[in-house]
Homo-oligomer: A and B are copies of this chain.
Amino acid sequence: MSQLVRLVECVPNFSEGRNIETIQKILVPFFMTTGVKLLDYSPDKDHNRTVVTIMGEPLSVKKAILEATGIAVQNIDLRNHRGAHPRMGAIDVVPFIPLQDYPMQEAIALARDTAQAMAEQYNLPVFLYEKAAAAPERENLANIRKGEFEGLGTKMLQPEWKPDFGPEQPHPSAGASAVGARMPLIAFNINLNTSNLDIANQIVRCIRHISGGLRYCKAMGVELKEKGMVQVSINMTDYTKTALYRVFEMVKFEARRYGVTIAGSEIIGLTPMEALLDAAVYYMQIENFSLKQVIENRMLE
């Protein structure tokens, strides 16, 4: 039996959120490339930035990103760019996010190939970040982008800020880009049958990584005034290692000590199918389950 189609998500950020004509030009390859779906784009005037979400077959995604890079380099001039969001390049960041059974190692290879092609075709310095980073100090995007476009020329004179690909000085108008790979995020909120924010915060301390909890869980307590409830607001940063249902069960058993129950939960935005299937498989104790048993997945073979 054949493999499922390999799918990758990609969320390129462009440093233009005001000029509709430029934004439209940049979107063309995402609309037109076979094998690529444009899921969302949101231009932000204050940030002067457009975040685009696409998904598709890995090589088609690479192709669309390269075309969009060309359009961004040609049409965006960072020397005239003002906005609230930190940025260092016309196509500022390009994270690749593996879906289904596409391995992270291949998403990393795709990020590096794309970064190299961007550098070669457009004479653009490119830095690899997060899981695609070549060194630990480059994993954090904020480190790479620190100093922004205006500080880039000076920063890149330092040997430790030589780019991974492309020229050793910024592109005069398009600056530099960061290309990386990361796991999909899941935004998962759990509402508690109490209005006591202390209880939400106590539970947060138990579950989140930073205070001793689960490795790929970020969380904070939130007051829902209108509902008269509090919420444990969660970001799951790698659902393949810290399962969604595990966090849910943990919140449930920690809440129990206060005599508090779960009122409900919600998933904000998109989630990989597997995070939910994992939960069904856990709760119904399903043995030897394969993603290929999901009939709709067979359309993606």
Contact = CB atoms under 8 A, between A and B. Distances in A.
B266 A299 contact: no
B295 A99 contact: yes
Given A279-B284, A280-B280, A293-B269, A37 B264 contact: no
Contacts of A300: 296, 299-300
A279 B262 CA distance: 17
B265 A295 contact: no
Given A276-B276, A280-B276, A280-B279, A299 B56 contact: yes
A65 to B, nearest CB: 18
Given A276-B276, A301-B37, A295 B271 contact: yes
B285 A272 contact: no
A267 interface: yes
A285 B273 contact: no
A9 interface: yes
A219 to B, nearest CB: 16
Interface string A76-100: 0000000000000000000000011
How many copies of this chain does the complex contain?
2
A244 B299 contact: no
Contact of A264 (B267, B285, B297): B285
Contact of A289 (B7, B267, B301): B267
Given A9-B295, A270-B293, A296-B300, A265 B277 contact: no
A288 interface: yes
A41 interface: no
Given A99-B296, A273-B296, A277-B280, 13 more contacts: A7-B296, A7-B299, A37-B298, A37-B301, A55-B295, A245-B284, A265-B286, A270-B293, A271-B293, A273-B273, A273-B295, A273-B297, A279-B279
Interface of A: 5, 7, 9, 37, 39, 55-56, 99-100, 184, 244-245, 248, 262-267, 269-273, 276-277, 279-281, 283-289, 293-301
Give 9 closest A-B pairs by Cβ, nearest first.
A276-B280, A279-B280, A283-B283, A270-B295, A264-B287, A280-B280, A273-B296, A264-B285, A273-B294
